[in-house]
Amino acid sequence: MLWSLKKAWYRVFQRAFKVAMCFMDWSEPQLLEGAGSILNLPDLVKSKGLRKVLVVTDKQLMNLHLLDPLFAKLEETGVEYVVYDGVQPNPTIPNIEEAKDLYVKNGCEGVIAFGGGSSMDCAKAAAARVVKPNQTVRQMRGQLKVHKKLPPFFAVPTTAGTGSEVTVAAVVTDPDTHEKNAINDMCLRPKYAVLDPELTVGLPPHITSTTGMDALTHAVEAYIGKSNVKSTIEYSEKAVKLIFDNIEKAYTDGKDIEARGNMLKGSYYAGLAFTRAYVGYVHAIAHNLGGLYGTPHGLANAVILPYVLDYYGESAYPQLAKLADIAGVSKPGMSTADKGKAFIEAIRKLNENMNIPSKFDMIKEEDIPTLVERALKEGNPLYPVPKIMNEADCEAVIRSFMA
């Protein structure tokens, strides 16, 4: 009886949130697209009247000299810049504070986030701290707790995965508690984004595959959830089509500019979908594997996705059947359930073809209660999933992907 009441409350909460979302500004970022479009960013920055910006990135991208053309163009355009390259794969509160301090100390007027989701999440949270100096990162976690306009923010993704260039979220790791939590606020959504496929050409195959599966997870979780609207349905369908058609091409031939560009656009569409329609238990569990074990987010999503879809079963088959048709993995005469199962199997096949493992061997038995507690705390009541999990359900799913 108590569980029934809890589930009813979760659905009421989700419906109320869906209605509230209708009154928010969902205008898309201004885009610079195409090969070499990064070189147009300095002119855009200067046109906004900015004299000095903070560039947030990581040491690996700096060592690859991927930012050198941007730096040269900024200098040519007369825009000064300061670089913070201390972003870690799962950005931490100290990362955010260091970036914020660098921004303030140097009198910066805007932010360029250059890299994967970690760089963009770190930059978003740092910009939030700039405009809310008396509010800690921990106090910002959750829903709509920043509510103050950020400095001009330009997002440059170098992976086709997170969709962070268009989302309202910044995911942060607390090194003291090993928790991974999201800051969600409309003001975190970048106003400007660059989708330049040339920046993704140098990605190693395993990063191409796992970030691509991250984008697929965004599209699928948004699509099967109960907070969809017409636009998010269209975005998810476009994303799934682009990702299924291009992910293995980009994985096999990293220099395929067309495939790289299509993956960037697929990730962008998936970001548009899930930032409004939300994600589900795949992300709730994946975030906590990242917090406890440092598991890369895309890899966690890739491995977990088919197991959670198996759990949803009949509650998600109608939507998954439509995605099976869009992805071209269904056959004539298949039932809705068979199409749904075929789509889940196609995800497993993608993982297998790209050498992504089917299970994890690092999960410790004694950590399972913590994983369950934290995943359900994140997922319930916020995520509008097709089927609500309790503790036993969540534990069973986690055990299903333990080696």
Q: Are 171 and 287 spatial neighbours (Cβ–Cβ below 8 Å)?
A: yes
**What is the pLDDT at residue 150?**
97
The reported pLDDT for the residue numbered 266 is 98
Average pLDDT over residues 292-299: 94
pLDDT value at residue 1: 76
Q: Encode pLDDT of 221-232 as tens digits.
A: 999 999 999 999
Q: How far apart are CA 315 and CA 310, in angstroms?
A: 10
DSSP helix/strand/coil, 192: strand
pTM across the whole model: 0.95
Which among 46, 71, 351 is positioned nearest to 216, based on CA atoms? 351
178-210 pLDDT, tens digit each: 888 889 999 999 999 999 999 999 899 999 999
Residue 90: per-residue pLDDT: 84
Residue 172: which H helix or E strand, with range? strand 169-174
pLDDT of residue 402: 97
Longest dimension (CA), the chain: 68
pLDDT tier for residue 32 given thresholds of 50, 70 and 90: very high
Q: Is 182 helix (H, G, I), strand (E, B) or coil?
A: strand
Helical spans, DSSP H, in 225-256: 230-252
Number of CB atoms found within 10 A of residue 355's CB = 10
Taking residues 227-247, report their average pLDDT. 97
Mean pLDDT score, 262-274: 98
pLDDT band at 89 (very low <50, low <70, confident <90, very high): confident
Percent of the chain clearing pLDDT 90 (strictly above): 94
Strand partners, 184: 143, 169
Angle at CA 169, nearest 5°, toward 194 and 390? 140
In this prediction, residue 274 carries a pLDDT of: 96
pLDDT at 136: 96
pLDDT at 48 over 90: yes
For tokens 């906590």, the residue is 288
Q: Evaluate if residue 263 carries a pLDDT over 90.
A: yes
Q: Tens of pLDDT along 315-344? A: 999 999 999 999 999 999 999 999 999 999
- Contact by Cβ (8 Å): 384, 19: no
The domains located in the chain, with CATH, are: 2-21+203-400 (1.20.1090.10), 34-200 (3.40.50.1970)
Phi-psi label, residue 42: left if phi above 0, alpha if psi -120 to 50, beta otherwise: alpha
Residue among 317, 336, 318, 312 nearest 387 (CA): 312
From CA 168, how far away is CA 281, in angstroms rounded? 19
SS3 129: helix
Q: What is the pLDDT of residue 361?
A: 96
The band of 140, judged by pLDDT with boundaries at 50, 70 and 90, is very high
Asked whether residue 371 carries a pLDDT value surpassing 80, the answer given is yes
Alpha helices per DSSP H over 106-229 = 117-131, 137-140, 205-224
Q: Per residue in 141-158, pLDDT tens?
A: 998 999 899 999 999 999
pLDDT, position 62: 96
% of the chain at pLDDT higher than 70: 100
Smallest CA-to-CA distance from 217 within 318, 296, 156, 144 is with: 296
